[in-house]
Amino acid sequence: MTEPSLHIAHTYELAPAAGDEIRAFLDTAFEGDFSDEDWEHTLGGIHAYIHDSGGLLAHGSVVQRRVIHAHRSYRTGYVEAVAVRADRRHEGLGGRVMGALERVIDGAYAFGALSASDAGAALYAGRGWEVWQGRIGAVGLSGVEQLPDEEGSTFVRAAAGRPLPSPSRKLIFDWREGDVL
């Protein structure tokens, strides 16, 4: 059996039909719980996806987010919309997608971050991602807003050759519509 092919493309490189296919795939993979804001968060960065003759099997993207930590702004690779088709889970497809996204993080960002579902947490932990042990916030219209509900589900990963920020100081993410993290 031939291994399904991994594709890597920036959002601007996706043909309209490919973008539509990815969006439909994510709607199905997240069982209807993938909003227009979630789709917007997925765009503007690098997509890694696995495709075979039957269609999409897995997807993830990494987009740039600004994160303030200890009075410094970091360019951070934020992982979005990681999903594997239900009948193909536990075959290593999610790991292949994450491997591609981690290479982007290593080459372009100070560190990686993501917000994990309970179902996805084991994948990230098994790849060396760590639960952020510090506080989480976001810059809103009225200043920094605390995000206690994101604590315990936000994972970080050092980019190659770079240290992680210290959890003694909070991570403050840029604001966005919908789910902030």
CA dist., res. 101 & res. 144, Å (int) = 29
State pLDDT tens for residues 45-55.
999 999 998 99
CA dist., res. 79 & res. 148, Å (int) = 20
pLDDT at 1: 62
pTM to 2 decimal places: 0.95
CA dist., res. 85 & res. 54, Å (int) = 11
What average pLDDT is seen over the chain? 95
φ/ψ (deg, to 5) at 91: -115, 5
User: Residue 100's domain is classified under what CATH number?
Assistant: 3.40.630.30
Tell me whether residue 133 is in a domain: yes
pLDDT at 3: 85
Domain count, the chain: 1
Tell me whether residue 33 is in a domain: yes
Express as a percent the part of the chain with pLDDT over 90. Answer: 90
Are the C-beta atoms of residues 21 and 55 closer than 8 Å to each other? yes
CB atoms < 10 A from the CB of 160, how many? 10
Tell me whether residue 180 is in a domain: no
State pLDDT tens for residues 50-104.
999 899 999 999 999 999 999 999 999 999 999 999 999 999 999 999 999 999 9
Tell me whether residue 154 is in a domain: yes
Tell me whether residue 181 is in a domain: no
Tell me whether residue 56 is in a domain: yes
Tell me whether residue 179 is in a domain: no
Range of the domain at 30: 5-173
Tell me whether residue 165 is in a domain: yes
